[in-house]
Chains A and B, each alone.
Chain A
């Protein structure tokens, strides 16, 4: 069964985005970049909800992204991607499949395919649905040493609490802390 992993950069106060979708607070350096590349290398594909998809599709194919971050940009642009949306008319980012049908059936099908791990970045609404339906195999966060005060909470809308099992941690020189969890059951 293919693993589905949620990954997010979060602030200490649990936001993955500041107000107005601001992510300028992300604490990134060479060590983080190495981690990001390693993560993308282990990926067989990326899964998105509409909002995160549109933000990423609007950035990674641009000249700015390719100049600033050529290795990550190349991987983001070439990896197979799926976006779940009932409202998007089309999904033009290279190597993207738009899925308008039921999320759960498609995820179930994807997990039964052979292949490398699938990653979800952002996409908080989609993540909550998948967490509640027990499709998520690993939760990864990098806690940035920053407090935002306001922003979008990581798993807003989660109906009950979900206990997790800590499987790995890593402290970065920048003060970022990587925390990896599996669902408890």
Chain B
């Protein structure tokens, strides 16, 4: 009985371990680290991304309003959905952590439902820490929607880590 379970687990780990090393390692300064229930990784079971790797994902440009800014703003960055797709994440929740350890829970469905962008450029400028960079989780909203402040908590700036929880 026990030997059977052991065989099964060994088989599984072989099967699952294979794809875990499909992601290439980052060449430049790491910007975002994703851990948890992901299907691929490049560093110690976590997926570390640099700026170029993120650029390689579904890079979009949006003009939107936020409850933290005045007037229309241009943002550019990869969609959260494309990041999750690249990591084989289909459901569950994300624990997003900022540089000052501010952590917020974001359901995975928000990525598709609200077209969440991991904004890295603001009005054409690369976002530095002081500009809420390197990554600001932006939910594109209309002006009236933004006024109601629906996603103030989820729109975490200075994002550095994501942990995927089932």
Tell whether A pairs with B.
no
Which residues of B are interface residues toward A (Cβ below 8 A)? none
